[in-house]
Each structure stands twice: as structure tokens, then as C-alpha cells.
Amino acid sequence: MAASMQHVFVGAATGVFKGVNLAQKKATNFQNVASLSREEEICAMCWGNQQESQVCIGLKNGLVKTFDAEQGEFTDCANCAGGDGRFTGLAKYQGSLVTCVESGLLRVWKDEGEKVDMDVGKDVCRMRQNHALPHQVATGGKENELKLWDIQEPEKPIFKAKNVRNDFLDLRVPVWVTDLQFLSEQKLVTCTGHRQVRVYDPATPKRRPVLNVELGEYALTALSVTPDCQSVIVGDSQGSMVMVDLRMGKVQKAFKGFAGAIRSLQCHPTLPMVASCGLDRFLRIHDINTKEMLHKVYLKSKLNCLLFSSADFTQEETETTKKQKRKLESSNITDEDEDELWGNMSVVQDGKKTDKTKRKAKTKKLKKPK
Amino acid sequence: MFYCVYSTFISTFYDLSKILGPPTSWFILSFPKMATPKKKKMPVQEEIQDVDNDSAMAVPSSAIPPPNISSIKNKMRRTHEFIKLKRQRRKEKKELQKKRKRETEALGDEAPPKKVPKTIENMRVFDETMVDPQDEEVLHDEAHDEMASYFSRDTRPKVLITSSDRPRSTTTRFLKELGQCIPNSEIYYRRGLDIKKVITQALAKEFTDIIVINEDRRKPNGLLLCHLPDGPTAHFKISNVKLHDEIKRAPKSTEHYPEVILNNFNTRLGHTVGRMFAALFPHDPQFSGRQAVTFHNQRDFIFFRHHRYLFKNNKRVGLNELGPRFTLKLRSLQKGTFDSKFGEYEWVHKRHEMDTSRRKFFL
């Protein structure tokens, strides 16, 4: 059924799972909307395999469904209930699913019902896996500092961040990690609900953030690292998306066009593009370099999470280019015909220079005074 | 000395009578004549005699416009010229209309369709969020949203009305009128309480909605509508408030449940806001009360009116305006109960980005 390739997979708050083809500008729902309930709200998504042909979707009621992009339907449904709260992160490690819920229960669902549990603290907001080292997982939440875990050693975190120093009033700075990402192999970058962007380096003995930047006026909700790993794009709860340069620690660019909170952001792995979705029911693709909005798709439901596939869709044929190709093929001009064509055309001679002194009287139409 | 002057005056008086005739005719001094002094000879009316017709700078006479009326210094002459101009323009317009009418009648059935003038409403920029009434996904979304319990008749509305701290007389009167207009509502004074604390107390007392009227400079200027228990919070700007006493011949409203009319809430955002308004009023209106509350959306401004209607016969209705009259403009719609710092916004009005086109609207 999935004859066209989906470039972006989006999960909605109503539970609808959508795929968007940007070249053809089409969005498809992969489920029957009427059969869904509020309990099937999509909370987290991740790629099921390296080839990005499978998507794992975590629902509010604890189920994790696997969607096959080639077949265009859901192939598997696993009950991953455990702990309280919604899924805050999904990952795949050596073929088995790793889930994390808000109450702090991080579980690796191995085959034959075997489970490995880890307690990562209360009120977790996000859990992400390191793509370079898949056994590493990072978590963070409200009053729950950033922690880096190794799945093979579930007892203690490899790295536990320390809060920054007291502020100028000597008050403790509150902690609220809303989103985090792995920056290159070792470093981590987080954004907080208190409008801070922080970079941590677990390789150094320093547990405090290497970089701490305060931005904007509203809580930051989503974060994504640009392909060159030099800057980071953050979105906030009022719909402002901004690019922060990590070397300078300053805001570089701001992207426009949003009306509501940004729930999820992802940069394309190779192309300079960023996809964002949020509560205003639109999926937007911006160009990172020119700040231009390339695509804006209305998706009717509030959007929770998205996955941007690595495929290079700019090279794909769109409908218009296909038509142009067909036209060219049908005209069938050979080389000999071309020479004849050029030979038959008359030679254009250079015109005489007009005498600048001779000016034609221009009769401008004068407007009637009112 | 005086006698001499007087005599000379009388002699001139009598001389004048010989020149001008009997005294009665003096008074017909013909005012219009006074008002129409000697006309300046407008050079434009004549043909410009161009000496050298072949010169490159020959300009046809019709191209030079008459001098501007506003350059005439004399007010009387100026007004007269303007009246003339207006009369001439009206005449031309009437002739054009008659001509067009004659043409359409002559053509009969073949006549081209009557032209529709362009208005801002019919030139509105295409909005892809306009709701299709049969759209399955939107229907499903609305059946499961925060206001769904009202529409499925599971809850009955109970509204808490309050204001900002220390309200002035206009605002207190406005609160009372709103309380009369919205059935099943209770008015509380704010007394310095945080809105988040108001919400927790209201939840305990099973309120379904909270309205907070903000006041600035002795007038109500903002309205916060928060649906409970976890419904969206809408923040509006209020303008143009007219209370019951300020509306002429306004009768008193009664306790009957009014009918609710929601006009032009067409986009997805408009739907959400419209549903929030509908959820304030009880489901079953008491038609014997003949009262109607209207929320009319036009160009993103929501006009609130409260009327009592009377059908005089099958075709004619009389309307009597009761209660308050005000205009609202949506500033932001926040998901969840009031939390302006950390809450997520579904829609925020960003003036510099959204107010760029005069023909783009959001509700």
C-alpha cells in the first residue's frame, strides 16, 4: 500500500499515525480515525531498524506498535506496560525494545519475556539513545538531573550531571530537563523548561555544564542538533524556533511561521533542513541556512512527535518534473534535426544605435485632481 | 455738524432711489448674484493655440487638468465650485447606472451576471484549516476534546465569574450583568488570589468554567476564559463595552436560559473557541424567555450581543437589546488550565507575523 515513500512520520495526540510525502505533498493516515480512543495517544516514536523501514510507536496505554513502512501497516503490537505515566522515550538495542516512562522505570524488553529494569529517578521528561554507542542512554526530567546510563550496567549511571552554581541571589537554580540530544560521540546537549540550553561533557571530570545559555521568555520544549554539530535548534512553548550556536553560546537565527507550541523537532541527518510539529496542527520544514519555510502541511490533529527519514527527497521526482520529462521524451529531436533547425533560423542583425538626442514626446496621462 | 451729515445722507439716499428704483426692489438684491461673483476665466476652457504645432512639446488641451478646487482662497467660491463638481459627478454616475440598466434589460437573458463587489470577507486568503463539516478526523478530535463532556451532556455548566484585584465600578457592574446573562453563574470578588489557586478551589466546588475580567484604567479590557477541569484557556481583549444602563430603552433581562448563536467560527481554531463559548450556557434554552445570546465572529473580532426577540408576524421580528454589549479579540489559546509561564500554547497572536495581510483571518 505504501507505494510512495514517506519522508516524515508524525504521531498525533488523537492517536493517528501519519506519513507525509514532501515531494508529492501528500499526507496519509495509516489508521482508521474513528476506531481510535484517547488512550491510544502517540507519546513516543523511534526507528525500528537501521534501514528506517520500521517505526516503533509508543502509546499512552502502554502498548508499543511496530509499523512497517514498506508494507504500509502495523506488523506488531507489544504490551510494554510498567510503571506510571506516559512513555518518555523509546529505543532499540540489539533487537530488543528499551522503554522509559514518566515514573522513572527504564526497561529493556528482551526476548522470552525477560526484562532488565533500571530506576532513573522520578518525573522523567525525556530518554534518548546514543546513535554512536547504542548501549548508552540518557535521561532527564523535572528536578531530575541529566544522567547517562549504560544498559549493560543497570546499577549506577555512568555520568550524573551536577546543578549549576546558585544564582546572583544565592538561590538554588531549579532543574527541569525537557529535551536532550547526543552531540557527537560523547557530549550531550539539553534544553530546560527554565529557558536554558546546556552542554555537558562526560569525558571531563567536570560534572557541571560546559556551556549554559539562557534564552527567550518561554519554556523550551524541543531540541535538535544540526548536521554539522556546531549548533542546536530549540523550540519553545509559544512557537518560537531558534538556532543557537554552541561555540559562541548565542542565538544565531530565528525561524518564523509558528502559531503554537513546538512539541517535536528534528534536523535531517544530511540535508540542511529541520522538521517541526506542534500544537498548531502543522508540520513545517524549514531550510536551516536560509530560514525559509520549504513545506507547511496541515495535519488536522495536534501533533506529538515526528521522525524525519534520512532519504534525500530533494532528488526525488515531483509531479511537475515527471510531466516535463515526459514532454521532452515525446518530442524526440535527434542531432541531425537539431542542426537543420539551427540552420533554418534567420540571423539576427544588430540594430542601429538610436539617436539619443531624438526623444519622442511622451504623452503621459495626467490624473484629474479630486 | 451732525445736521449737515444727516442732510447729505438723506440726499444720497434719495439719489439712490432714483438709480435703483422703488425700495422694495432693493431687497431682492439677488443673493445668488452675490454668491456668484465674476468668474475667473479659466485658461483651460479655451483651446491652447500652440504656435508651433510640430514642436516636440505639443500637449493636447484635454490633458491639462483644471486647477485644483482647493487652491481657491475664497471660501464661498470654493464651496460653490465643489458643489458644482459633486453635482456633475453624481449626474455622470446616474447616467452610467441608467446606461448599464438599459443594456442589461436589452440583453435580457443574455445579460452578463451582475458584478459582485469585492469585500475583505470575500477576498479572504484561503485558509487550509477551514473545517469541512464531514471531516472524519476533525469530528473524532472534537468528540474527544476537553469540551466533549458538555456536548455529550455529561456535565452541566457552572460558571465562576471574577475580576482582577480591586475592581472599579464599571467592572463590577459589568460582572453583575454578565452574571445575569449567563445562567448558573456565580460572581466572586478576587481579593488578591492567584488564578492557579482560584482554579484549585473552583475544581473543588465543581465549577466547569472560570471567567476572569481584567480591568485597566477603570474599564474592563481583558477576558480570560478557562474551561475546567483541564480545558483550554483562552485570553481575549475586550473593547467597546456598553452596559445595560448605557443602551437606550433596554429592558431588564430575566432568568430564562437563552439561545446561543455562534456565527462564522469556521476554522479549526474558530471551532475550538466557539465550543468554549457554547459550553458556558446550558443545553436546553427556554424558548418562552425569547432571549438569545449571539457571538458573531467577523474579521477575527467576536461581537457579543444579548437580545430579546418578538415575532410580530411570520415575517417580521422585533429585537430588543438587553444586557451588556462588547467586542472580543482572541490573543492566545493555551492548552491546559491557566499557566502562562510554563503552559503550552495552541495559538498565540503574533502581531508582526500574522497581521501582515488585511485579508488573512484566523478564526
Q: ipTM of this model?
A: 0.82
Closest CA to A188 of A270, A172, A179: A179
Q: What is the pLDDT along chain B (363 residues), one digit of tens a residue?
A: 544 444 444 454 455 555 555 555 444 444 444 555 555 555 554 454 545 555 556 667 678 887 889 999 999 999 999 999 999 999 999 999 999 889 888 887 777 788 899 999 999 999 999 999 999 999 999 999 999 999 999 999 999 999 999 999 999 999 999 999 999 999 999 999 999 999 999 999 999 999 999 999 999 999 999 999 898 999 999 999 999 999 998 999 999 999 999 999 999 999 999 999 999 999 999 999 999 999 999 999 999 999 999 999 989 999 999 989 999 999 999 999 999 999 999 999 999 999 999 999 999
Residue A318 exposed, middle or buried by CB count within 10 Å (0-12, 13-18, 19+): middle
The residues, any chain, with a CB within 8 Å of residue B286's CB and separated by 6 or more, are B256, B257
Smallest CA-to-CA distance from A143 within A104, A101, A175, A171 is with A175
Give the per-residue pLDDT at A349.
Answer: 72
- Confidence at residue A343, expressed as pLDDT on a 0 to 100 scale: 79
Contact A261, A239 (CB under 8 A): yes
Is the Cβ of B60 closer than 8 Å to some Cβ of chain A? yes
Distance of residue B26 Cα from the nearest chain A Cα, in angstroms: 39
Instruction: Identify the pLDDT of residue A348.
Output: 75
CA dihedral for B285, B287, B291, B292, sign (positive or negative): positive
**pLDDT at position B66, please?**
78
Min Cα distance A297 → chain B (Å) is 9
Q: Which of B67, B136, B344 sits opposite A33 (nearest CB)?
A: B136
Please indicate whether, in this complex, the C-beta atoms of A300 and B346 are within 8 angstroms of each other.
Answer: no
* Torsion from C-alpha of B176, B182, B186, B189, nearest 10 degrees: -40
CB contact under 8 A, B344 and A367: no
Q: Cβ contacts (< 8 Å) between A369 and chain B: which residues?
A: 65-69
Residues whose CB falls within 8 Å of the CB of residue A239, separated by 6 or more in sequence, listed in order = A258, A259, A260, A261, A262, A278, A280, B345, B348, B350
R_g (Cα) of chain B, nearest Å: 34
Along chain A (370 residues), what's the average pLDDT of each consecutive run of 10 residues? 75 93 88 87 91 91 91 88 89 91 91 84 92 91 93 89 94 95 90 95 92 92 93 94 93 94 94 94 94 93 93 66 65 68 76 53 55
The separation between the first and the last C-alpha atoms of chain B, rounded to the nearest angstrom, is 88
pTM for the whole structure: 0.80
Alpha-carbon span B51 to B192, nearest angstrom: 88
Q: β-strand B209-216 against B159-163: which pairing, if any?
A: parallel
CA distance B29 to chain A (A): 34
Instruction: Give residue A333's pLDDT.
Output: 59
Q: How far is B346 from chain A (nearest CA, A)?
A: 4
Quick one: closest CA in A to B54, which residue? Answer: A361
For A147, phi then psi, to 5°, come to: -130, 140
The secondary structure of B217-282 as a DSSP string is TTEEEEEEEEETTT--EEEEEEEEEE-GGGSTTPPPP-SSPPEEEEE---BHHHHHHHHHHHTTS-
Q: CB-CB: which of B63, B335, B341 is closest to A363?
A: B63
Q: Does B299 touch chain A (CB under 8 A)?
A: no
The residue type found at A320 is T
Between A and B, how many residue pairs show a Cβ–Cβ distance under 8 A?
Answer: 83
CB < 8 Å to A257, chain B: 353
Contact: A33, B144; criterion CB under 8 Å: no
Q: What is the pLDDT of residue B19?
A: 53
Query: What pLDDT is recorded for position A242?
Result: 95
